[in-house]
Amino acid sequence: MDSRAGRRRRPRFVSVRSLPVLLILLAAAYVFGQDAAPDAAGPPLTGEVAQTAADDHANGHHDPVTPLLVGLSLILAAAKIGGAILVRFRQPAVLGELLVGVIMGNLVLLGPTVFEFLRPASADHPETIASAVSTTVDMLARIGVILLLFEVGLESNLGDMRRVGLSAFLVAILGVLAPFGLGWGVGKWLLPEESWHVHLFLGATLCATSVGITARVLKDLGKTDAKESQIILGAAVIDDVLGLIVLAVVQAIILNGSASLAEVAIITGKAFAFLVGAVVLGEFLFPRMYTIAARLKVHGMLVVTGLVVCFLLSWIAGLVGLAPIVGAFAAGLILDERHYAPLRQSDEGSLEDWVIPITTLLVPIFFVMMGFQVDLRSFANPSVLLLAAAITIAAVIGKQVCSLGVVERGVDRLSVGFGMIPRGEVGLIFAAIGRGLHTDGHAVISESVYTAIVVMVMVTTLVTPPLLGWSMTRRSEEPSLPA
């Protein structure tokens, strides 16, 4: 790591003394929100609600951006309050953001519906029709996690990742094989009456790791330069690639009855061709691109060019069937300071310094909205809870097995295993895809199995920040990866 990592340390969280001010602002936003979007509490923009909004807008009484402003105010204020409270208990701020999202999303169960205009349409809430506000917030959240991985990639170093490359690769391989086998076994044991397609998909769902959750925890702890962090991040990216390959193969098997070796080879080849191509671009194309950008003599070209690279690689990753976050992390990893040195003369500060204000705004939206989509009513069904508990245990054990792939000495394998636990948005994507697959006229993933997967995602996402925070700080006296 370069010297920048030493200067930019722990993020500054909201002081407890400022909590009363934030609470007042949150209360004011709540009251204003009731006035600004009183009909948006239920299913948004339908029937009379849509007509009323249209009439108000036509008469000049309502600016369509005001409900969005209220929603963002509520999300950001709640995120900072939750983060500040959890930091006081020596927990990562991201856990507070997830928990306030859970509270906001389930407050409707107690009666208040003020936050419902933020709820995106989903399989959990088929009655909800996405409004412009909820759709915009959802898009901002997706951009937020892309920029988070871009920022983490910028703080990482390609040379350091190469040093732990063997461990990261072995951890990723075990992190796919062990959970897949355990998930298949749980399905055979608890769902013997279900088709083998269900067992296959349960195993596939447990494969992937949500690098966004772990990356945010490591960033909050100021541990992104630790050797364990390099292994976790490298393995999580490879894990995502392998998990998406497994998902594509499983889809082909379910839909076609089988998957040929040629199909598997094509899927795998596209994934690794993207990663190799990204590194080649970083070495040969990006320095020239920044040299051209420096000639424009326009303020802000450093961050604009960096974001263009991030978004383009995220888009290309999506084109080849990978998650956009893989492209974002690759963009940050290959954008070295020597690449954008020509722009440092016109724009003071590093690219990381310019990206931080943007991620400070957008990243909390992602984590709050992830918690928002957790439905606590899932805990009401005992059989679902049994299945959820079993696949959650399998998910945790499978990622502890993967820590055996670490070959370097002095590395805390427990931290590596904890860092690979969360499924997060990746698990939710897998579950949604499984619910959309049909064989013989029936969905591969039933409502009860889907609910169990969502509970597993929720639990693995919520337990990772405190577990990883504890494991990484208990060995704080050990040296990090040398620069």
Domain boundary among 119, 134, 157: 119
Task: Using a pLDDT cut of 70, give the percent of the chain over it.
Answer: 75
Q: How far is 223 from 6, CA to CA, in rounded Å?
A: 11
100 with 149, same domain?
A: no
Asked whether residue 37 is assigned to any structural domain, the reply reads: yes
223 with 94, same domain?
A: no
pLDDT of the residue at 396: 92
Q: How many CB atoms lie within 10 A of CB 216?
A: 31
Give the Å distances, CA to CA, from 250 to 122, 200, 362, 421: 23, 7, 33, 22
Mean pLDDT of 255-272: 74
92 with 219, same domain?
A: no
107 with 188, same domain?
A: no
Q: How many domains does the chain have?
A: 2
Asked whether residue 139 is assigned to any structural domain, the reply reads: no
DSSP letter string, 114-161? TTGGGPPP-SS-TTPPP-HHHHHHHHHHHHHHHHHHHHHHHHS-HHHH
92 with 198, same domain?
A: no
Range of the domain at 270: 144-473
295 with 199, same domain?
A: yes
159 with 110, same domain?
A: no
Interacting residues of 40 by C-beta distance below 8 A, sequence separation 6+? 49, 67, 116, 117, 131, 133
Name residue 299's amino acid. H
91 with 165, same domain?
A: no
Is 390's pLDDT higher than 90?
yes
Supply the CATH number for residue 255's domain.
Answer: 1.20.1530.20
Asked whether residue 299 is assigned to any structural domain, the reply reads: yes
Is 354's pLDDT higher than 70?
yes
Asked whether residue 128 is assigned to any structural domain, the reply reads: no
DSSP letter string, 389-455? HHHHHHHHHHHHHHGGG--STT--HHHHHHHT---HHHHHHHHHHHHH-EETTEESS-HHHHHHHHH
**pLDDT grade for 391, boundaries at 50, 70 and 90:** very high
37 with 151, same domain?
A: no
**pLDDT grade for 169, boundaries at 50, 70 and 90:** confident
pLDDT digit string, tens, across residues 177-222:
999 999 999 989 998 888 888 888 888 888 877 777 787 778 777 7
Interacting residues of 399 by C-beta distance below 8 A, sequence separation 6+? 175, 178, 179, 209, 417, 418, 420, 421
Q: How far is 108 from 208, CA to CA, in rounded Å?
A: 31
169 with 76, same domain?
A: no
